[in-house]
Chain A
Amino acid sequence: MKKKSTGALAVLLLVGVVMVYPLLWLFLATFKDNAEIFGKLSFWPEKFSFDAYVKGWKGIGQFTYTDFYLNTFKLVVPSVLLTVASTGIVAYGFARFKFPGKKPLFALMLSTLMLPDAIVIIPRYVAFNKFGWVDTYMPFWMPALLACYPFLIFMLIQFLRGIPRELDESACIDGCNPFTIYVKILFPLLKPAIFSVVIFQTMWRWNDYFNNLIYISSVKKYTLSLALKMSIDSQGASTPWNQVMAMSLISMVPPILLYFFAQEYFVEGVTAGGIKG
């Protein structure tokens, strides 16, 4: 038995090394200069230089990565907050109330879960274009405000169903209205699920590239993903790879930090809903 578990551990370690190697290598490569990256195979940099970070941060033209970072936050943070507020209310409605047309509406919501993005993209773009929202962050904030994330709603509904109904009734016996029941009683109990919503939505919005690409056109409003893409395009053959790598790494920091701090909720959420990568 002992022997077997050592074997398994060895395999796990080996797979782990292969998995992490690219990321570790990326980390170390950001301290090298371009010649060293291409010239040698050495894993460890000859000397640690922060040159790539300093130069890379200057960005493109008049805009630095400070702008791109702030833009990304401007896009992501309101989207996440609005999503939490809106999906919570919608889930509460579906989980706790009876209203005419509830069944078909619920079915409709679930069916949008199956609809591939490819279908929605063009009409949505056309509509947002008509509203004059292209090249603003509205195409990201508005769907969040209107709870256009059926998966997250579904996850919250499932969670709400697990909270006994008597709780909200008895705890608020002295005349709470449905809204205060939600805010005072249910919302605190929903915390773990809300965390999952925050995490998923942050990761999705942060990593998203396609929507950024089609909706944001002026460099002033570029987010990190657009800036990174531009940095590999603009310089052609002489791309300063060490700078690009350094900026890529920096762009991954917030999601990774979030993951390490909220890991429990993360794994819980993934298992609860089972989600695409």
Chain B
Amino acid sequence: MSLYYSFTDFSILSDGKWVGLENYTRLFFEDKYFWKSLFLTFKYALMAVPMKLIMALFVAMLLNMKLKGINFFRTVYYLPSIMGGSVAISILWKFLFMKEGVINKTLSLVGISAVDWLGDPDIALVTISLLVVWQFGSSMVLFLAGLKNVPTELYEAASVDGASKVRQFFGITLPMITPIIFFNLIMQIVHALQEFTSAFIITNGGPNHGTYLIGVKIYEDAFKTLKMGYASAASWVLFVIILMITMFVFKSSDAWVFYNDGGMDG
């Protein structure tokens, strides 16, 4: 249905008539914001996803050290994730990062001059990706479950052989949790490429289209200017891109994801 719409000039006010590939040619060759928003969306995903996963893994490893009060910490770290993509959290973020907001004031205490977190197009994109990084709790819980499943004998054997902690991390931990890294990676990429609320509420796509993510663009085309056929075309391009990236990650996973049931025990 959506695919059909993408070939029409459909809007909610009128039934669409068939326009063939016109939506797509306009998208690719005339709409200067289309490429820009795609580029920004990639940039956003490239910043947010690795930062979030590294953070999640790092904290999960600390939590896995069998210290006291793990449950307390886990609760605290998960807290920001509960509110997810809610408006309340986006408002909080907007407020924290305002020019005269708390973040800048705190930075000024240590002698760093005010950063224009929301007013500078390049920095604004970083600011909204930080929001996702802050919510690393859900990925962390998954990593923690994965780390618990790594057999301790492996570490004992490695210690006996005199492998350093760093070596153990790259030789044992990382390969053993690759299935979970893989899963997290796919989920987070798919999610990041469709981000909407934070870019819409915190910066409204601006400044100067600096956070004009493809999700925001599709919304504006479909529901503000009511070019639903056109927006359908954009959403199909997004879908194909997501599909291609997911397939690429799946394909590449043969090379780096390690499944315990097929290899070692067999």
Contacts and interface: CB of A to CB of B under 8 A. Distances in A.
Interface of A: 5, 8-9, 11-12, 15-16, 19-20, 22-23, 25-26, 38, 41, 114-123, 125-126, 129, 203-204, 206-207, 209-210, 213-214, 224-226, 228-229, 232, 241, 244-245, 248-249, 251-252, 255-256, 259-260, 263, 266-267, 270-271, 274-277
A232 B91 contact: yes
Interface of B: 1-2, 5, 10, 12, 59, 62-63, 65, 67, 73-89, 91-92, 94-96, 100, 102, 105-106, 109, 132, 134-135, 137-139, 141-142, 145, 180, 183-184, 187-188, 190-191, 193-194, 196-197, 200-201, 215, 218-219, 222-223, 228, 231-232, 235-236, 238-239, 242, 246
A276 B138 CA distance: 7
A149 to B, nearest CB: 16
26 contacts: A9-B67, A12-B59, A15-B59, A20-B79, A22-B80, A22-B92, A118-B194, A118-B218, A119-B2, A120-B2, A121-B222, A125-B12, A125-B223, A129-B12, A207-B84, A209-B85, A209-B201, A228-B88, A229-B201, A256-B79, A260-B75, A263-B75, A266-B78, A267-B141, A270-B141, A274-B184
Contact of A122 (B79, B187, B235): B235
A27 to B, nearest CB: 11
Contacts of A276: 138, 187-188, 190-191
A50 B81 CA distance: 27
A228 B200 CA distance: 13
Contacts of B92: 22-23, 26, 245, 248
Given A207-B86, A249-B88, A274-B187, A19 B77 contact: yes
Given A5-B65, A276-B191, A122 B73 contact: no
B195 to A, nearest CB: 11
B2 A251 contact: no
